[in-house]
Amino acid sequence: MLEFNQFTLMRQSNCRHLFKKVEVSLKVVKPEVAENKEAGIKILIPNGEFYASKVCDTFEEAIDLDVEALVKQLVKYKEKQRSK
């Protein structure tokens, strides 16, 4: 599951040459409620990092939302780099 989502992130962002490291953290948030699965993804690049964290019903849903958020961040970063 994690490898698939990392692959999806790299394919969608088209910035994989920038990635130094990708860290994924999964944890169950207490108290036990419906939305208690938290997924966080951190991407380290040479001059900074990108991070997204979501809490959902399932880890899969949280990771999908994280990937969407990170793709938006990476697109903004690329646009900013092009304008320099």
Dihedral class, residue 36 (left if φ above 0, else alpha if ψ from -120 to 50, else beta):
alpha
pTM: predicted TM-score of the whole model, two decimal places: 0.79
Residue 55: name the closest of 30, 76, 73 by CA. 30
According to DSSP, the β-strands at 48-56 and 21-28 are unpaired
Q: What is the pLDDT along the chain (84 residues), one digit of tens a residue?
A: 555 555 566 555 566 677 788 899 999 988 778 889 999 999 998 888 999 999 999 998 998 899 889 989 988 988 888 887
